[in-house]
Amino acid sequence: RAKGEGKDRLAFFEPQLQEALRQEMNLLEALRQDLERGEGLWLAYQPIVDLSTGKRVALEALVRWRLAPPSVFIPLAERHRLMPELGEWVLRQACRELDRHGLKVHVNVSPQELLDPTYAFRVAEVLEEASCPPGRLVLEITETTLIPDERGRDATRALEALKALGVSIFLDDFGSGYSSLERLAELPVDGVKLGQAFTQRLGIPPDPQSPPARVVGAVLALAQALGLQAIAEGIEDETILVYLKNLGFPLGQGYLLGRPDRL
Q: Is 143 in the site for Mg ion (CB under 5 A)?
A: no
Q: Is the dihedral of CA 167, 172, 175, 180 positive or negative?
A: negative
Query: Which helix or strand (DSSP H or E) is residue 107 part of?
Result: strand 104-109
The CB-of-19 to ligand C2E minimum distance in angstroms stands at 26
CB of 60 to Mg ion, least distance (A): 6
Contact status, residue 191 vs residue 222, Cβ threshold 8 Å:
no
Question: How big is the chain by its Cα radius of gyration, in Å?
Answer: 21
Contacts with ligand C2E by CB under 6 A lie at 46, 62-63, 70-71, 74, 87, 90, 108-110, 140, 172-173, 196, 234-236, 253-255, 260
Site string for Mg ion, 217-236 (x = CB under 5 A): ----------------x---
Quote the CA–CA distance of 107 and 90 in Å, as a whole number: 8
Phi, psi of 253 (to 5 degrees): -150, 145
Partner whose footprint covers residue 236, from ligand C2E, Mg ion, none (CB < 5 to 8 Å by kind): ligand C2E
Closest distance to ligand C2E from the beta carbon of 6 (Å): 39
Stretch that binds Mg ion, among 33-41, 78-86, 108-116, 181-189 (CB under 5 A): 108-116
183 vs 69: CA distance, rounded Å: 33
Least distance CB 112 / ligand C2E (angstroms): 8
Q: Which is nearer to ligand C2E, 248 or 260 (CB)?
A: 260
**Among residues 21 and 104, whose Cβ is nearest to ligand C2E?**
104
Which residue in the set 34, 143, 173, 237 belongs to the binding site for Mg ion (CB under 5 A)? 173
Please confirm whether the linkage preceding 134 is cis (ω < 30° from 0): no
- Judged by beta carbon, residue 46 or residue 168, the one nearer ligand C2E is 46
Q: 74 touches which of ligand C2E, Mg ion, none (CB within 5 to 8 A by kind)?
A: ligand C2E
Helix (H) or strand (E) holding 108, with range, is strand 104-109
Residue closer to ligand C2E (CB basis): 87 or 206: 87
Report how far residue 195's alpha carbon sits from residue 198's, in angstroms, rounded to the nearest whole number: 6
Judge whether 154 and 117 are in contact, CB under 8 Å: yes
Q: Count other Cβ atoms within 10 Å, centred on residue 66.
A: 12
Give whichever of 3 and 262 is closer to ligand C2E, judged by the CB atom. 262
87: left (phi over 0), alpha (psi -120 to 50) or beta: alpha
Nearer to ligand C2E, 22 or 83 (CB): 83
Q: Would you tell me which residues interact with Mg ion (CB under 5 A)?
A: 108, 140, 172-173, 233
